[in-house]
Structure 1
Amino acid sequence: MATVQAVLRKKRNAQNLFPIAIRITKDRKASFISIGQYIDQKYWDTTNRKVKRSHPNASRINHLILKKLTKANEKLLEAEINEANVSASRIREDIKGTNQLDFFGVAELHLDNLQKAEKYRQYHTQKGRIEKFRRFTGQQTLAFKDISVFLLKNFESYILNQEKRKPRTAVNYMILIRKIFNLAISEGIAERSIYPFGKGKVQIKIPESEKIGLSIEEVKKLENADGLTPAQQQAVNVWLTSFYFAGIRVSDVLQLRWSDFHDNRLHYRMNKNQKLVSLKVPEKALRILQQYKETPSDKNDLIFPYLKGTNFDDAKEKLIRIRTVTRTLNRRLQLAGNYLGIDKKISMHIARHTFGNISGDKIPIQMLQKLYRHSSITTTVAYQASFMKKDADSALDKVINF
C-alpha cells in the first residue's frame, strides 16, 4: 500500500528554515518531492500536516501543498488502475517531470527565502544579478541542462569585456549561479551529472583585491581639518569614529546609542554577524562624542542624527535609510578629501582599510583578528595581506642593496 503525506523535513537551510516536502511511501520505501518552500518550524501544523494560519503566506503555501498532494495521488491511482508495479521514486520522477522548475524558478525561491529572512541587502543585489543573467540569455525560462560551460564563459566575458566590470564582479555572478544550481540539486530538481562547475569546467577563483587605506599623515589632515562645511565636518566625524574603533562598519556607527557606552568602553552587537564587541573608548573618540552629547539626553538616543525617525523594527526601511545616508556621507567625505589635498578615494569603508594600513606589522595577527571581529584568523591574514609590507620590503632591500 502506498501513502502520500506532506511533511516538514529536518534539514534546515542557512536561514534556519525547514523545507516542506511531499513524502511518497510505497513498499516501505520513501521518496520526497520538495515544494520549494521553507518555513520556521513553529509554523508547521504536525497534526494536520499543513502550514498554520499564523504564517503570512499560509494560504498560498497550503494551496501549493494540496496541488502537489493531488498530483501524487493521481499518479498512485493511475498505477493501481493499470495494476502497475511502480516505485515511490518513479512516482516522484513522474511528478517532477510534469511540473519541473527551471533555473529562474529556483532563483525566485532563493530570493523569496532571502526576503523572508529579512536579508534585504542581499535580496536586492542578487535580484539585479539574476535579472542581468536573464537578459543576457534572452530567455524567460532556462532549463538547468542548458546552463553549459560555454554559456557561463560567454556570460563571464560579457561582464568583463562589454560591461567593463572588475574580475571580482564576474566572480560574484558565478558564485550566485552556482548557489542556485546547488539548491536545485539538493532539492532533486537538477541532476549532478549536468553540473557545470568544478575541475575541467567553470572554476571559481576569487581574485586578490588591493585594499587602499589612508596614511597617518592623511588621517591627521582629517583630524585637523579647517575650512570644511558643517556637513563635510560631520561626515569626517563619523569616519574618524569608525577609524578610532578599529574600523567598525558604517551601519554600526550610524546605529550607535549612548546606552552602548559605559565604564569608558563601547559595548555593541555587530549588525553583520551579531557578535558582541567591547572596546576601550580612545581619548580622540571621546572628544568627538562629546560634541554630540545633549543635556539632558536619553541614553537610548542615537549619537549621530542621520537615522533619527527610522523604524528600526522594519529591516527593509532601516537598510534603505542606511544606504542613503552612506552614499551622502561618502560624497561629503570625498569633497572634504579633495579640499584637504588627499589624493585618494575616501569612503566610510576606507576607515577600516586605514586601520589595517596603519596597524601594518605593528600588531600581532591574533590581536587584529579580535579587533576586526573576524571569526577565522585565516580571514584576518587574507585581509591584512595588503597592508603587511615590512617583511617583503626588507627582503627586497637585502637582495638589491649591494
Structure 2
Amino acid sequence: MATVQAVLRKKKNTQNLYPVTIRITKDRRTSFISTGQYIDEKFWDVRNRRVKKSHPNASRINYLILKKLAQANDKLLEAEINEDSISASHVRENVKGNDKKDFFDIAELHLENLENAEKYSQYLTQKGRIGKFKKFVDKDTLHFKEITVFLLKNFESHILNQEKRKPRTAINYMILIRQIYNLAISDGLAEQSNYPFGKGKIQIRIPESDKVGLSIEEVKMLESANNLTDAQQNAINVWLTSFYFAGIRVSDVLQLRWSDFKDGRLLYRMNKNQKVVSLKVPQKAKAILDLYKESGLSKNDLIFPYLRGTNFKDAKEVLTRMKTATRTLNRRLELVAKHLKIDKKLSMHIARHSFGNISGDKIPIQMLQKLYRHSSITTTITYQSSFMKKDTDDALDRVINF
C-alpha cells in the first residue's frame, strides 16, 4: 500500500519559510519530492493539503502540487499494472527525472521566496547578481554539474578585473551561488559530488573591512560648518543626528517621528532587527530636532522631510524612496567634505564608524553593545576592534622608544 500526499515539511530555510513537498510512503518507508516552493506556515491549509488562497502565488503553487501528485501516482500505478516492485525513493527519483531544474530555475524560485517574504532589498540585490552571473555564462540554462571551480574562478576574476569591483563584492557573488547550490542539494536537485565549494575548491573567506570614521576635530568641522546650501546643511543635520544617537542607521533616522520621543528619550524599533531602542536625547541632538519643528505637525509626522508622502504600507515604495534619499544625502555630504577639506569619504554609513572611532577604548565593550544594539557581544568586539588602537600603539611605543 502506497500513499502520496502534499505536505509542508517542518524544515525551514534561512528565510524561516517551509518547503512545500510531496510525501510518498510505501512499505513503511517515506521519501519527499520537492516542489521548489517555500511558504510561511500560516499559508498552508493542513486539512486540504494545499496553499491557502491568501498566498499571492497560491494558484501557481497549487497547480504545481497537483502536477507533482499526478506524476508520483502515475509512477505507482504504472508499477502496479506491471507488477513491478518499486520503493518510495524510486518513485521520487523517477519524478525528479521528469522535472529536473537547473541553476537558474532554482535561483528564480529563491528570488520568488524573497519577494513573497517581502525582503525586497535582498530580492533586488540578489536578482541583479544572478542576472550578472547569467550574462557572464552567456546561456539561459546552466546545469549544476557545469558550475565548476574553473568557471567560478573565471567569474571571480571577471568581477575583480573587468568590473573593477572590490574583493568583498566578488565574495558576495560566491556566497549567493553557494546558497542556491545548497538549496538544490537539500532538495535532491544537485549532486554533492559535483559541489564546487569547500576545502581544495572554492573557499569563501570574508575579508576584514576597512572601517574609517571621522575624528573629533572632523566632527567639530561639521558642527560648525558655514557657507553651505540649505540642502547640504540638511544632510549634515541628518548625519549628526545619526552620530549623536550612537550611529543609528540612515533607514531609521529618516523614519523617525515626533512620537518616537518621550520624556527626553528616543524610543523606537530598529528596522534591521526589530529591537526596541531607548536612548537619552543629547542636547546637541535636541538642538537639531528643534530646527524641524513646524506648526501644524502632528506627533505621527516624520521629523526629516525626505520620506514624506511615502506609502509605508508598500514595502517596495519605502525601499525605493529610502535608496533615493540615501543617495541624495551621500552626494551632498561628498560636497560638504570637499568644501571643508575633509580627506575621507563622507557618507551616512560613516556616522556609525565615526562613533566607533571616537569611542575607541573609552567605553566598556558591554556598554558599546547596548549602544550599538548588537545581539551578541562578539559582534561588538569584532566591530570595535577596528577602532581600539591604544593597546597596540602603547605596545609599539614600548618596543621602539629606546
TM range (shorter): over 0.9
Q: Which runs of 5+ in 1 are unaligned?
A: none
Q: Tell me the SS of whatever aligns to 2:97.
A: helix
| TM-score, with length taken from structure 2 | 0.98
Aligned pair 1:383/2:383, yes or no?
yes
Match of 1:120 in 2: 120
Aligned to 1:100: 100
Shift in Å at residue 193 of structure 1?
2.1
**Counterpart Cα distance in 1 of 2:390 and 2:218:** 20
Q: Distance in 2 between matches of 1:372 and 1:343?
A: 26
Name the residue aligned to 2:18.
Answer: 18
Kindly indicate whether residue 189 of structure 2 is the aligned counterpart of residue 189 of structure 1.
Answer: yes
Question: Are 1:251 and 2:251 matched, yes or no?
Answer: yes
Determine helix, strand or coil for the equivalent of 2:274: coil
Shift of 1:227: 0.7
Give the Å deviation of 1:224.
0.5
Q: Cα deviations across residues 315-342 of structure 1 (Å, max 9, x unaligned)? A: 0000000000000000111111111121
Give runs of aligned pairs for residues 82-97 of structure 1, distance below 5 A: 82-97=82-97
- Report what 1:241 is aligned to: 241
Mapped to 2, the partners of 1:341 and 1:42 lie a distance apart of 55
1:298 paired residue number:
298
Code of the aligned partner of 2:331: R
Q: What is the TM-score normalised by the length of structure 1?
A: 0.98
Q: Does 1:211 align with 2:219?
A: no
Q: Name the counterpart of 1:170.
A: 170
Tell me if structure 1 keeps the 8 A contact 2:215–2:357: yes
Q: Distance in 1 between matches of 2:372 and 2:216?
A: 19
- 1:342 — aligned with what? 342
**Partner AA of 2:174 in structure 1:** M
Distance 1:243 1:52 in 2: 46
CA–CA distance in 1 between the matches of 2:260 and 2:47? Answer: 45
Q: CA contact under 8 A between 2:311 and 2:318: conserved in structure 1?
A: yes
The AA in structure 2 aligned to 1:303 is I
**Equivalent runs, 1:3-14 vs 2, <5 Å:** 3-14=3-14
2:135 paired with 1:135: yes
Instruction: Quote the offset at 1:296 in angstroms.
Output: 4.3
- What is the CA–CA distance in structure 1 between the aligned matches of 2:3 and 2:253, rounded to whole Å? 56
Name the % identity.
75
Aligned to 1:283: 283
3-state SS in 1 of match to 2:22? strand
Contact 2:22 2:35 in 1 (8 A): yes
Structure 1 residue matching 2:184: 3-state secondary structure? helix
Structure 2 residue matching 1:362: 3-state secondary structure: coil
Give the aligned partner of residue 71 of structure 1.
Answer: 71
Q: Is the 8 A contact 2:7 2:49 kept in 1?
A: yes
Deviation at 1:53, TM superposition (A): 2.0
1:149 aligns with 2:125: no
Separation (CA, whole Å) in 2 of partners of 1:249 and 1:64: 41
Aligned to 2:374: 374
Range moving further from structure 2, 248-257 or 287-296: 287-296
**What amino acid is the match of 1:204?**
I
Q: Distance in 2 between matches of 1:337 and 1:153?
A: 38
* Contact residue 79 and residue 85 of structure 2 kept, 8 A: yes
Cα distance in structure 2, aligned partners of 1:97 and 1:54:
32
Deviation at 1:56, TM superposition (A): 2.0
Aligned-pair CA distance for 1:382: 1.5
User: Once superposed, what is the RMSD of the aligned Cα atoms?
Assistant: 1.1
Where do residues 40-51 of structure 1 align in structure 2 (5 Å cutoff)? Answer: 40-51=40-51
Q: What SS class does the counterpart of residue 132 from structure 2 fall into?
A: helix
Alpha-carbon distance in structure 2 between the residues aligned to 1:169 and 1:120: 19
Which is further off, 158-167 or 28-37?
A: 158-167
Q: Could you tell me how far 1:162 is from its partner in structure 2?
A: 1.9
**Cα deviation 1:18-68 (Å, max 9, x = unaligned):** 211111111111110010112222222222211222222211111111111
Q: Which residue of 2 aligns with 1:327?
A: 327
CA distance in 1, matches of 2:72, 2:397: 74
Deviates more, 1:287-296 or 1:45-54: 45-54
Structure 2 counterpart SS, 1:268: strand
- Structure 2: distance between partners of 1:239 and 1:25: 60
Aligned partners of 2:56 and 2:116 also within 8 Å: no
Amino acid at match of 2:65: I
Q: Deviations over 1:111-161 (max 9, x none)?
A: 111101111111111111111111111221111111111111111111112
| Correspondences of 1:221-240 after superposition (within 5 Å) | 221-240=221-240
Which portions of structure 1, spanning 4 or more consecutive aligned residues, are displaced by more than 4 angstroms?
Answer: none
